[in-house]
Chains A and B, each alone.
Chain A
């Protein structure tokens, strides 16, 4: 009986279901949007654009902070391998994402072909697509040198031979020219909305153009210092004769952005160091920031910079925090308020002949206020609590008493005393302040940012106005207009809190290098700057040289990260009791000196890419 019913049901379903075969299968999907549906609604096009924005390749960002310790700006408290590798791999920093380029090309083509978008929407989206593409090529040329310029979506015809899709590498200068001309072409199509920080604007197009032209100009100018970093057909290397034209482009465009008055330096907080730190934290009407990757709490797009970099003394999450420790190399580069450079005054020649300080932060008092806006120094307050960095006690007889646990107590002459700070430093203790400092730039001071369940929404600043000013200053300096350069430098340095202006005669190449080093530390500039100035192989030269005593000099080797450890004097009744002294330390975990080889100037194009397209030539010195 049951079987009969079942077969009857089956029979019915067969007879009725197939009535209109073609229509039946032609059901509109409820969870997939087709291409023409997406490109008929500006909100959906924006979603597609958002995906492309989201995939902008950044080498250094707060969400991926480990690489900040790859050079000489920071000690990786835990990831010690960064200081135990001598050579950088030729593959480091490489990028070959033509999938991304293709999707941008498709986006531009589809926006241009859309019929149901308003003309204004079409123009803006197409310009944004072109911004993203030019930005991607800028990223490619920075890392790889000249790359194939593909500006339309390529389609394979399934003929069995894909060789017609192969394109050779363009010249490095051609890629820069393309990038610069694209930024120029789209700047007036994009909106003049300085409060729009996550999408391409007029200001961003100009700022990007300035940066690209400056990079091209300096590669042309300083490429003569590394004659072997070039290829005969110009895929790598730009002729020196082109330098001035690029510098002029950079200066003119920077001046256009400056005179447009759309952006200004951030000057809100009365405390200069806090003001500097707030450039990266303040999302409300921030006049300085031009382009960011934004994050938002409880949205899924958050990052762990604050979680992994909170001082260990005040950690909100057990054993987490303190992974990135700014290095003494960077800290001593911040100049004194009288514009002079000097190593930190910690002793009178002999490491044991200490200079005594009442409070640990006093050592840094006469330095550029940007120092304490970038770095949490011993004695600093973060999240309204002391960060407690000290490595041990100096006893009456000069010996040092320390411990192997954070905040450890030990008995001294029968009295129980804390012998090491709650943040360390302890050699080899992951997360303790082994560099002697903690991060302030990008470090979120909001309560809860150090919890795994909350984390941080501090945005990643990709372009800001201060960099535009520094770019303008550098371009002007390279063109011999020292007075103009001094004027732009003055704006940045005044905001920083340096009261003595540099005279045009004091604007030197070393000054330009130095200003970028301290203003733009940890902001994804160091590697690219050192590469375009052809200084990378000079500064990271593989020699195990000591920490330089001339921090203002651009060519001083800096191959190993040094630490500065504070100690508290424990000598009840003595004159120096409870005073602070400092020692320069080379961590036992720093076993190798970095060497940036000539083959590192342009990352390796892998054999797989060359197999697919034999017209691609290898980068030099690899």
Chain B
């Protein structure tokens, strides 16, 4: 009895201590930054996906670590303010923007696959990724007039060549109770089809009257989004808090 007890205690000690050696160090280098055009962040759709499912954000980057033969991508979601952040192991990576992601153009190789960017992670680092958007939204102004929200914006066409340039499908003004406000999250909205826009430099739209907010609050959030023909992800202006 005594012996078996001693063995038990010994076993327990082994169990408590033994695992330390074969555990991996967790990744602890932070790689963060923003998606920018000439230093200005591109603002996009907010993400709303289940906790375990981080591969399905509206816009994401992919990192591929070079050290291993069996490669699989690490997906880095972009938040609605254009920032991203990821915890990684140190090492050499390649970064790509997968096909069909983002309201911007990413360089392509001769084989028509997304071009890659070499990234060396050695300790935490911040890095802005420069891309060329189809359009930029300039001078957004949003105001409230008797519970009707009016917004105006100027669209700057950045990519103008015939091969890559895209037309405007629609400009939308979204209003919501929280700071998550976009095509998928809105209480009220106004749409203006691309064909109805006379002057890209001066687009203005007004929503209908806001419904009563339950529970009531004296402010809303709003921003203007641009849907580009043939491009899935929209580009947005900064979220603005509007007092009613």
Contacts and interface: CB of A to CB of B under 8 A. Distances in A.
Contact of A87 (B56, B72, B100, B186): B56
B56 A618 contact: no
What 7 A-B pairs have minimum CB-CB distances, sorted nearest first? A621-B100, A607-B72, A87-B56, A86-B48, A89-B56, A611-B70, A542-B184
Contact of B230 (A228, A543, A592, A593): A228
A451 interface: no
A98 B186 CA distance: 44
A608 interface: yes
B99 A89 contact: no
B190 interface: no
Contact of A621 (B49, B50, B69, B99): B99
Given A542-B184, A611-B71, A621-B232, A85 B100 contact: no
Contacts, number: 63
B194 interface: no
Interface string A201-234: 0000000000000000000000000011000100
Interface string B48-74: 111001011110000000000111110
Nearest to A543: B183
B98 interface: yes
B100 A599 contact: yes
A227 B49 CA distance: 27
A227 B70 CA distance: 32
B49 A87 contact: yes
Among A87, A89, A593, which residue has the most Cβ atoms of chain B within 10 A? A87
B145 interface: no
Contacts of B150: none
Among A90, A544, A608, A611, which residue has the most Cβ atoms of chain B within 10 A? A544
B232 A89 contact: no
B71 A85 contact: no
A225 to B, nearest CB: 11
Interface string B182-205: 011110000000000000000000
B232 A598 contact: yes
Given A81-B50, A228-B230, A595-B184, A620 B56 contact: no
B232 A597 contact: yes
7 contacts: A84-B48, A85-B53, A87-B56, A89-B56, A542-B183, A544-B185, A597-B232
A556 B192 CA distance: 18
B112 interface: yes
A593 B184 contact: yes
A89 B49 CA distance: 9
Given A81-B50, A593-B184, A608-B72, A89 B112 contact: no
A396 B100 CA distance: 57
Contacts of A90: 55-56
B57 A87 contact: yes
Given A542-B183, A597-B100, A611-B71, 5 more contacts: A85-B49, A88-B56, A228-B100, A599-B100, A622-B99
B58 A87 contact: yes
A81 B53 CA distance: 12
A607 B185 contact: no
Chain B contact residues (Cβ within 8 angstroms of A): what range? 20 to 34
Contacts of A607: 71-73
Interface residues of A, number: 29
A81 B52 CA distance: 12
Contacts of B183: 542-544
A607 B57 CA distance: 18
A595 B69 CA distance: 35
B184 A85 contact: no
Contacts of B49: 85-87
A109 interface: no
Nearest to A597: B232
A457 to B, nearest CB: 34
Contact of B100 (A91, A232, A542, A620): A620
Interface in B94-139: 98-100, 112
Contacts of B55: 89-91
A622 B100 contact: yes
Interface in A514-530: none
Contacts of B112: 232
Interface in A580-622: 592-593, 595, 597-599, 606-608, 611, 618, 620-622
Given A607-B72, A611-B71, A621-B232, A544 B186 contact: yes
Among A81, A85, A227, which residue has the most Cβ atoms of chain B within 10 A? A85
A592 B58 CA distance: 14
A618 B99 contact: yes
A543 B184 CA distance: 5
B100 A598 contact: yes
A596 to B, nearest CB: 10
Interface in B154-178: none
Contacts of A620: 99-100
Contacts of A543: 183-184
Among A81, A86, A599, which residue has the most Cβ atoms of chain B within 10 A? A86
Contacts of B230: 227-228
B184 A544 contact: yes
B164 to A, nearest CB: 13
A543 B49 CA distance: 16
Nearest to A86: B48
Nearest to A594: B184
Contacts of A595: 184
Nearest to A595: B184
Contacts of A87: 49, 56-58
B104 to A, nearest CB: 15
B174 to A, nearest CB: 10
A256 to B, nearest CB: 41
Interface string B29-60: 00000000000000000011110010111100
A554 to B, nearest CB: 20
A599 B49 CA distance: 16
Contacts of B48: 84-86, 592
B77 to A, nearest CB: 11
Contacts of A621: 99-100, 232
Contacts of B98: 622
Nearest to B53: A89
A593 B185 CA distance: 8
A88 B49 CA distance: 9
B243 to A, nearest CB: 24
Nearest to B69: A611
A163 to B, nearest CB: 13
B169 to A, nearest CB: 12
A618 to B, nearest CB: 7
A232 B111 CA distance: 11
Contacts of B184: 86, 542-544, 592-593, 595
Contacts of A593: 184
A599 B69 CA distance: 26
A543 B183 CA distance: 6
Interface in B206-233: 230, 232
Nearest to B234: A542
A597 B57 CA distance: 11
A327 to B, nearest CB: 19
A543 B190 CA distance: 12
A513 B99 CA distance: 31
